[in-house]
Amino acid sequence: MKFTSVTALVASYLAASALAAPRLESRDEDKFAQGLPISKTGKGGPISGGTNHELDLQNPDNLGRQSTDNGIVPNLKWSFSDSKTRILKGGWVREQVVQDLPQSHDISGAQQHLKKGAIRELHWHRVAEWGFVYTGRVLVSAVDENGKYQAEELNYGDIWYFPKGVAHTVQGLEDENEFLLVFDEGDFDKVGTTFNIDDWLAHTPKDILAKNFGVPESVFDNIPTPNPYILNATVSEKNVTGAVTPVASGNSSFVYRTLEHPAEKIGGQGGVFRKIDSTNFPISKTIAATFVTLKPGGLRELHWHPNAEEWLYFHQGTARATAFIGNANARTFDFRAGDTAVFPDNSGHYIENTSKTEDLIWIEIYKSDRVADIPLTQWLALTPPDVVSQALKVPIEFVEKLKKEKQVFVE
């Protein structure tokens, strides 16, 4: 009888075990771009439980890619795709309010879509409204407390601003029309923020309506209930005639034609920077904005804003940004079209276009009368070089070569 040696048995067992056991991940490269929290330093491991792999792929920095991230920074990002969409006759609307993004105290936003002829019913707010047209063509009309009125057609890039309490409406003029809405209040859904005219009339006694307008009560038999918010209609061909009050124009105009004005002259290269605030759009006293295009691979330089939180809407492309909120707390976020974000008041940050081929387009919003930022490079360049060198432990030659003009963009 032949007996198998102990050595042979052990060798056979080890070979079988090697085939059955899972192969360990190679740590020569990190796996964040593959949606896995695995670093090349050996930290992390695969996700064995439930996960949304598509979100992991879109947000590699949430998986721990940036070793400089530290501490606790609350979520500063919200996608309109995560918002509940209200489907209505003639269009839709989806919004981001403070309940969605709790760190956005100053600003809330919405995307709204109108079919041709569809009307966002007549209404007003206890907060200011700012709008940016990015698809189609719309008619906006408004009346203020002095009877100044304005009815204007707006196209791509055009902006409107309605101060608190100004009566207004918006109508779609092309087959499909869409725009961004911004409000200078994070809790926009709070009761007492929006007042729709048909809602008001439906809850006012008919005899009072008849007395107020000098007409029979029957005129109001068909007031919509509940209020439709958006309703189908036809494009009007009539203008206001015989008005005894002036048209809002000049410094009192509710409309700003962004692309008819030259972009800001800046020190850096690699993008287009347009500022829209009370210095060039005088009526816009509580909302200041920038409309930014950044070339592939470009950087919106390290900076902070001394006067307000920064709310952002990313319209096109992909981006990365790190928010530094002080006391060694920093967190990096990844962005793509349809995302909104907020950088806390005075927090340091940058924005990088992570695409190699596509421009990054976004809008920055501030609850302020002006756009203001302090760039890190300019600050260091205008501080005595030896002070900077000794404080940061960097060569003084580096400090002396820093550009003293605000760059805004870095290629």
Using alpha carbons, select from 376, 356, 377, 379 the residue that is nearest to residue 294: 356
CB 182 within 8 A of CB 368: no
Structure tokens at 399: 């400090």
303 is in an annotated binding site: yes
3-state secondary structure (DSSP) of residue 411: coil
3-state secondary structure (DSSP) of residue 285: coil
Distance of CA 148 to the CA centre of its chain: 31
145 is in an annotated binding site: no
Catalytic position from the list 95, 185, 301, 364 = 364
203 CB-contact burial (10 Å; exposed 0-12 / middle 13-18 / buried 19+): exposed
Q: Which helix (H) or strand (E) holds 396?
A: helix 396-400
397 is in an annotated binding site: no
DSSP code string of 300-341:
EEEEE-SSS-EEEEEEESEEEEEEEEETTEEEEEEEETTEEE
168 is in an annotated binding site: yes
Q: What are phi and psi of 297, to 5 degrees?
A: 80, -5
125 is in an annotated binding site: yes
**Residue 364 annotated as catalytic:** yes
310 is in an annotated binding site: yes
261 is in an annotated binding site: no
Kindly list the distances between the CA atom of residue 262 and the CA atoms of 9, 155, 180, 258, 368, in Å, as whole numbers in the listed order: 82, 17, 22, 8, 22
Between strands 77-79 and 299-304, the pairing is unpaired
3-state secondary structure (DSSP) of residue 46: coil
Kindly list the distances between the CA atom of residue 5 and the CA atoms of 2, 9, 12, 17, 283, in Å, as whole numbers in the listed order: 9, 6, 11, 19, 93
113 is in an annotated binding site: no
| Binding-site annotation, residues for Mn(2+) | 123, 125, 129, 168, 303, 305, 310, 349
| Binding-site annotation, residues | 123, 125, 129, 168, 303, 305, 310, 349
Please give the positions annotated as active site: 364
